[in-house]
């Protein structure tokens, strides 16, 4: 089948929810992926910040193969070893005490909010409201659509579930103003990822944490994208000197397998038996893979590597900014990086990069996002920069 045939099939068979790049990927290894025509790409999307260790990392493949031959699924009606081992690792390397496993980021946030509401019922006179930020992204369930402070995700689904108040990001006064006796929690991303790679002031989260403690409400951090080494530390909260009461994880922790989790401090661990659940959550197959991936990250200090290579990448992008005056901003932490323009050239640039063998993400009409696997090297960054430079040059001087 040709690329056009695949595209026709997709148009016919799928609910049309996403604009796909015109390429059908069939194979991947490390930071490289191949399409059905045999073309090779450098993948700086990493499955949306998910393939932390690149495509088909040997440690994950090995864990999956072994677990697939041993025990694939049981439900959480029974104890299983991979789930317990993954829980141990997450608790040992985070500031939190207990974990619940689910399957996605949206579910991890849903569970976090349910836990906060339960806390509100038990400890805060039935408080149920959760304060979130504009330009946030917390997932696609109906409740997380209400939590996500972007009208483009909300308009089609009103009326939205109640109990979410969206306020300005990076503004602690806005949170204070929205807090009432009905508030049970504040839910924030340490860096807003989908919303634009928006990095808050260094003291923002610290101020929010102080406010939450003063009011006795919970601080929930959505580390679905920033967690698992993406921003240069295992969890982004470590860089801001705060400790969340609840933390949501997904994307990168499984290095490609679908897994989510939320973790809570002991004081916030208020679920009773039967109050939450998931059929697939904590499935032995994905837990074995995630355990192998996370252990590899920790043993090989991958977050520090992401920080080093991320800084190198930022410097290189900074010099591109010097050369192309339509680049207005370069920002990022670790390997979560955005490049912004004063023109809506995101789609054009994405296609130009694709044609030259580099996969990138269009963050906004006027911005690209880079979220390569955390194992990329300076050499691969140089290669990507070379391609980007060519693509930017074509946009600056279009061929007629």
Alpha-carbon gap, residue 33 to 21, rounded angstroms? 14
SS3 letters across 94-160: CCCCEEEEECCHHHHHHHHHHHHHHHHHHHCCCCCEEEEEECCCCCCCHHHHHHCECHHHHHHHCCC
Residue 245 annotated in active site: no
Interface residue with ligand PLP, options 28, 105, 232, 346 (CB under 6 A): 105
Distance in Å, CB of 45 to ligand PLP, minimum: 13
Distance in Å, CB of 154 to ligand PLP, minimum: 15
Distance in Å, CB of 199 to ligand PLP, minimum: 14
Please, which of residues 306-335 interact with ligand PLP by CB under 6 A? none
Q: Identify which of residues 67 and 192 has a Cβ nearer to ligand PLP in the complex.
A: 192
Distance in Å, CB of 303 to ligand PLP, minimum: 17
Residue range at the interface with ligand PLP (CB under 6 A); choices 61-69, 173-181, 187-195, 347-355:
187-195
Q: Does 186 bind ligand PLP (CB under 6 A)?
A: no
User: Which of 251, 262, 307, 313 is flagged as catalytic?
Assistant: 251
Q: Does 305 bind ligand PLP (CB under 6 A)?
A: no
119, containing H or E segment: helix 105-123
Residues forming a β-bridge with 367: 340, 364
Q: Does 224 bind ligand PLP (CB under 6 A)?
A: yes
287, containing H or E segment: helix 284-299
Token pair 């006795």 in the structure block, residue: 216
Q: Is the peptide bond before 159 cis (omega within 30 degrees of 0)?
A: yes
Residue 43 annotated in active site: no
Interface residue with ligand PLP, options 43, 129, 222, 340 (CB under 6 A): 222
Q: In 3D, which of 295, 311, 359, 281 has the Cα closest to residue 55?
A: 359
Residue range at the interface with ligand PLP (CB under 6 A); choices 186-194, 333-341, 377-385, 387-395:
186-194
Interface residue with ligand PLP, options 89, 99, 102, 250 (CB under 6 A): 250
Distance in Å, CB of 49 to ligand PLP, minimum: 7
Query: Which of the 8 DSSP states describes residue 36?
Result: T
Neighbour count for residue 19 (Cβ, 10 Å): 8
Alpha-carbon gap, residue 167 to 158, rounded angstroms? 19
Q: Does 110 bind ligand PLP (CB under 6 A)?
A: no
Distance in Å, CB of 394 to ligand PLP, minimum: 31
Residue range at the interface with ligand PLP (CB under 6 A); choices 3-11, 98-106, 165-173, 389-397:
98-106
Q: In 3D, which of 19, 11, 45 has the Cα closest to residue 31?
A: 45
Neighbour count for residue 88 (Cβ, 10 Å): 12
User: Which of 215, 222, 235, 245 is flagged as catalytic?
Assistant: 222
Interface residue with ligand PLP, options 52, 104, 198, 269 (CB under 6 A): 104
Residues forming a β-bridge with 260: 102
Strands 98-102 and 260-264: antiparallel
Interface residue with ligand PLP, options 129, 194, 340, 380 (CB under 6 A): 194
Q: In 3D, which of 356, 389, 264, 62 has the Cα closest to residue 53?
A: 62
Distance in Å, CB of 85 to ligand PLP, minimum: 22
Q: Does 139 bind ligand PLP (CB under 6 A)?
A: yes
Q: Identify which of residues 117 and 138 has a Cβ nearer to ligand PLP in the complex.
A: 138
Q: Does 255 bind ligand PLP (CB under 6 A)?
A: no
* Number of residues forming the site for ligand PLP (CB under 6 A): 15
Q: Does 137 bind ligand PLP (CB under 6 A)?
A: yes
The residue number with the shortest CB distance to ligand PLP is 105
- Does residue 193 contact residue 248 with C-beta atoms inside 8 Å? no
Residue 379 annotated in active site: no
Alpha-carbon gap, residue 63 to 53, rounded angstroms? 14
- Does residue 60 contact residue 285 with C-beta atoms inside 8 Å? no
Q: Retrieve residue 216's tokens.
A: 């006795």
User: What would the DSSP string read from start to end of 344-359?
Assistant: S-HHHHHHHHHHTTEE
Token pair 């509100």 in the structure block, residue: 120
Interface residue with ligand PLP, options 53, 60, 127, 193 (CB under 6 A): 193
Does the CA dihedral 218-137-52-370 come out positive or negative?
negative
List of residues contacting ligand PLP (CB under 6 A): 104-106, 109, 137-139, 189, 193-194, 222, 224-225, 250-251
Q: Catalytic residue positions?
A: 137, 222, 251
């Amino acid at each position: 089948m040709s690329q056009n045939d695949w595209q026709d099939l997709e148009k016919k068979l799928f609910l049309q929810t996403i604009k796909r790049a015109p390429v059908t990927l069939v194979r991947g290894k490390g930071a490289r992926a191949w399409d059905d025509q045999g073309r090779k790409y450098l993948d700086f999307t990493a499955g949306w910040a998910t393939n932390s260790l690149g495509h088909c990392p040997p440690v994950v493949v090995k864990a999956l193969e072994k677990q697939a031959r041993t025990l694939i699924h049981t439900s959480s009606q029974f104890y299983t070893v991979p789930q317990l081992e993954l829980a141990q690792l997450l608790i040992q390397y985070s500031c939190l005490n207990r974990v619940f496993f689910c399957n996605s980021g949206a579910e991890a946030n849903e569970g976090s909010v349910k836990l906060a509401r339960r806390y509100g019922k038990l400890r805060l006179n039935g408080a149920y409201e959760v304060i979130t930020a504009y330009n946030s992204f917390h997932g696609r369930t109906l409740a997380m659509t209400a939590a996500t402070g972007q009208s483009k995700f909300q308009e089609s689904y009103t009326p939205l579930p109640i109990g979410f108040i969206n306020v300005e990001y990076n503004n602690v006064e806005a949170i204070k103003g929205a807090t009432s006796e009905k508030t049970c929690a504040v839910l924030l991303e340490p860096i807003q990822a989908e919303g634009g790679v928006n990095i808050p002031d260094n003291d923002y989260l610290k101020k929010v944490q102080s406010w939450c403690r003063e009011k006795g409400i919970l601080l929930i951090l959505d580390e679905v994208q920033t967690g698992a080494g993406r921003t240069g530390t295992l969890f982004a909260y470590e860089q801001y000197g705060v400790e969340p009461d609840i933390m949501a994880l997904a994307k990168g922790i499984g290095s490609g397998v679908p897994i989510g989790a939320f973790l809570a401090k002991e004081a916030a661990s208020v679920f009773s038996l039967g109050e939450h659940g998931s059929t697939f959550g904590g499935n032995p197959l994905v837990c074995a893979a995630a355990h192998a991936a996370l252990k590899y990250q920790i043993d090989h200090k991958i977050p520090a590597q992401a920080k080093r290579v991320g800084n190198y990448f930022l410097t290189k992008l900074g010099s591109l900014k010097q050369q192309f005056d339509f680049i207005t901003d370069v920002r990022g932490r670790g390997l979560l990086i955005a490049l912004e323009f004063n023109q809506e050239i995101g789609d054009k640039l994405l296609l130009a990069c694709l044609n030259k063998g580099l996969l990138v993400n269009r963050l906004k009409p006027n911005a690209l996002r880079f979220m390569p696997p955390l194992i990329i090297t300076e050499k691969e960054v140089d290669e990507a920069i070379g391609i980007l430079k060519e693509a930017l040059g074509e946009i600056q001087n279009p061929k007629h």
